[in-house]
Amino acid sequence: MKGLIFTFLLNALVIFGAASQRYRDQIFNQVSRKTVSYLEDKDLQLDIYQATADTEKDRPVLLYVHGGGFAGGARDEPEIVDFCKNMARRGIVAVSISYVLVMKGKSFGCDQAAANKLNTFQSVSDEIVAASNYLIKHKKELRINTSQVVLAGSSAGAEAVLHVAYQNKARASLPVGFTYAGVVSMAGAIHDIDLINAETAIPTQLFHGTCDDLVPYGTAPHHYCNEGEAGYLILHGAQAIAQKLKDLNKGYYLVTGCNDNHDWAERPFKEYRVQVADFIWQDVLQKKFRQIHQVITTNKTCSITSAPMVCN
């Protein structure tokens, strides 16, 4: 009888173990964090999170870029640390970087020249590439697969990673043949939708509120500036990017917050970690072709119409 009970328990453990999937599920308990300098002339650091007990080689990387209007924010804010640890417990190597806050003490709104906004995207993009080059250089000791580097960012960080992912100029100093495996945008946008084409398209996950009055959900001016203002710059947010990818018959994973605001810059790394991991597992690593649009309904109302309304 005891033998039968032991066999039953053993089989149950095997079945349970088989149900857990590396990179999709949290299969590790302890996570270590290591801080290194990746751009010494600018005194910039990055934090590397990985499961302590993980001995696997060729692991995927999630490289995260924080928000804050290019004026604030930090790579090691508590909820970002929690997000990175959550990803690391799945076997993903999570990396969170600092970058130069070029807009610190300055406005990034309608009184900031559009040219300066574009220069800011470029300068932070250069630093993301420098962080990527650090990872590529140290791939053996980090035990990472540099063909599986996924970019992720929130708000300003999302604007930066989208430009790195889709703009050849931003990636000029990367090794020949290197491409990012995917990109996750949390309330971000791109300044030129035509940067996304059949050759540049990569798996893309997008989170955005339709009533975001800073970064448009569809196509509209940044901060909804008037055409005569210095900061007037047309941006293309999550809906426009998803539509472009749909037109190209490429994969995308769009989560729309109906009549919701710029809170979607933070909600994904707090509340939608399972969806981010699912995107990395299925769309990036398994290379599944999916065109997903998940609509999160609210009882809010909104007068912003930067894209066709999807809330009804």
**Residue of 3 and 195 predicted with greater confidence:** 195
pLDDT for 222:
97
pLDDT, tens only, 165-208 = 998 877 889 999 999 999 999 999 999 999 999 999 999 999 99
pLDDT at 291: 98
- Whether the per-residue pLDDT at 2 is higher than 70: the answer is no
**Predicted local confidence at residue 15, as pLDDT:** 36
* pLDDT band at residue 309 under the 50/70/90 scheme: low
Give the CA-trace dihedral at 66, 70, 72, 73, to 10 degrees. 0
The answer to whether 36 and 134 are in contact (CB under 8 A) is: yes
Residue 9 has pLDDT above 60, yes or no: no
Residue 11 scores a pLDDT above 80:
no
pTM of the predicted structure, to 2 decimals: 0.92
Whether 140 has a pLDDT exceeding 60, the answer reads yes
- Which pLDDT does position 120 carry in this prediction? 96
pLDDT, the chain, mean: 92
Pick from 158-167, 219-228, 282-291, 303-312: least confident: 303-312
Task: Give residue-wise pLDDT tens across range 21-38.
Answer: 999 999 999 999 999 999
Would the pLDDT of 162 be above 80? yes
How does residue 306 score in pLDDT terms, banded at 50, 70 and 90?
Answer: confident
Long-range contacts at 261-264 (CB < 8 A, ≥ 24 apart): 261/209, 261/211, 261/212, 261/213, 262/155, 262/187, 262/209, 262/212, 262/213, 262/214, 262/215, 263/209, 264/186, 264/187, 264/207, 264/208, 264/209, 264/212
Residue among 148, 129, 134, 34 nearest 85 (CA) = 34
Confidence of residue 303 (pLDDT cuts 50, 70, 90): confident
Superfamily, domain 28-296 = Alpha/Beta hydrolase fold, catalytic domain (3.40.50.1820)
Per-residue pLDDT tens over the stretch 35-68: 999 999 999 999 999 999 999 999 999 999 999 9
The pLDDT-based confidence of 312 (bands split at 50, 70, 90) is low
